[in-house]
Amino acid sequence: MARHTLPGFLLAPALAFGAVLGLASAPAHAAVWNSCDQWGNTSLGGYTLYNNIWGSGAGRQCTWADSGTNWGTWADHPNTGGIKSYPNAKKVINKPIDSLTSLSSTYNVKVPAAGAYNTSYDIWDTDYDYEIMLWVNYHGAVGPIGSHQGDVSLGGHTWSVYKGSNGANEVFSFLRTSDSSSGTVNMLPILKWIKDTKGWMGNETIGDVQFGYEITSSSGGLDFTTDNLTISGG
């Protein structure tokens, strides 16, 4: 679950923790933007980049960006349970599902062979009642919320589908049945399947589409790199 979209989440503690992280040493990257702050963010080329360290027990993390579509994160989170962060790039859509004629994305990533994480899209409605996660790869001791609903082929991929709740919103998780480091995802058929075929939600207005790395552990410092990300819909 990506937490940065929830308004006012842990705002006061964030200032102190972000200041500490800003002083922590981390590999340097000569980029257009660089932040080690807990809630560090910037807007580049129609995307918003977030460092977004939200979980308890987190270590150090820095995110850099050459553009809104080429960016990366270095993270050193301890080998303990629980999600520590979700560094990501966000594109705002703000259209009801039935008004969308397309919603798709391309991705190309380099991820470590160690640690525990998933590489995922996080799609939200404007009221944050529904969260749709699309995991394109994952490694280590990580797993989705909810119970397995079966497998389905949609949007150019085959997914294992899970349905559950985190107590604040419904969560629909689609885990690619084999890991992928690059490809194209057509998200609109997935949203229509949830809405029309399963009836799990109505004609929600899709607010944000995010893409990033939900990191549970990355002890010793690991790199996550995103090249040529695109998110488009209309």
Q: Distance between CA 57 and CA 39 in Å, rounded?
A: 16
* Burial group, residue 88, by CB count within 10 angstroms (0-12, 13-18, 19+): buried
Distances (CA, A) of 222 to 56, 60, 113: 19, 11, 9
Residues in CB range of 11: below 8 A, 6 or more apart: none
- Residues forming beta bridges with residue 139, ordered by sequence position: 117
Q: Distance between CA 1 and CA 146 in Å, rounded?
A: 12
Shortest CA distance to 3 belongs to which of 68, 35, 44, 51?
51
| pLDDT tens track for 5-61 | 333 333 333 333 333 344 444 555 579 999 999 999 999 999 999 999 999 999 999
Q: Distance between CA 1 and CA 164 in Å, rounded?
A: 12
Q: Distance between CA 167 and CA 162 in Å, rounded?
A: 16
Render each residue's pLDDT in the chain as its tens digit; 234 residues.
Answer: 554 433 333 333 333 333 334 444 455 557 999 999 999 999 999 999 999 999 999 999 999 999 999 999 999 999 999 999 999 999 999 999 999 999 999 999 999 999 999 999 999 999 999 999 999 999 999 999 999 999 999 999 999 999 999 999 999 999 999 999 999 999 999 999 999 999 999 999 999 999 999 999 999 999 999 999 999 997
Give the torsion sign (CA, 162, 147, 212, 201).
Answer: positive
The answer to whether 120 and 137 are in contact (CB under 8 A) is: no
Q: Are strands 230-233 and 103-110 parallel, antiparallel or unpaired?
A: antiparallel
Q: Which domains does the chain have, with CATH numbers?
A: 11-233 (2.60.120.180)
Give the pLDDT confidence score for residue 1 in this predicted structure: 57
- Residues forming beta bridges with residue 213, ordered by sequence position: 119
Burial 122-132 (b: 16+ CB within 10 A, else e): bbbbeeeebbb
Q: Distance between CA 159 and CA 73 in Å, rounded?
A: 26
Output the six-digit token pair for 231.
């998110």
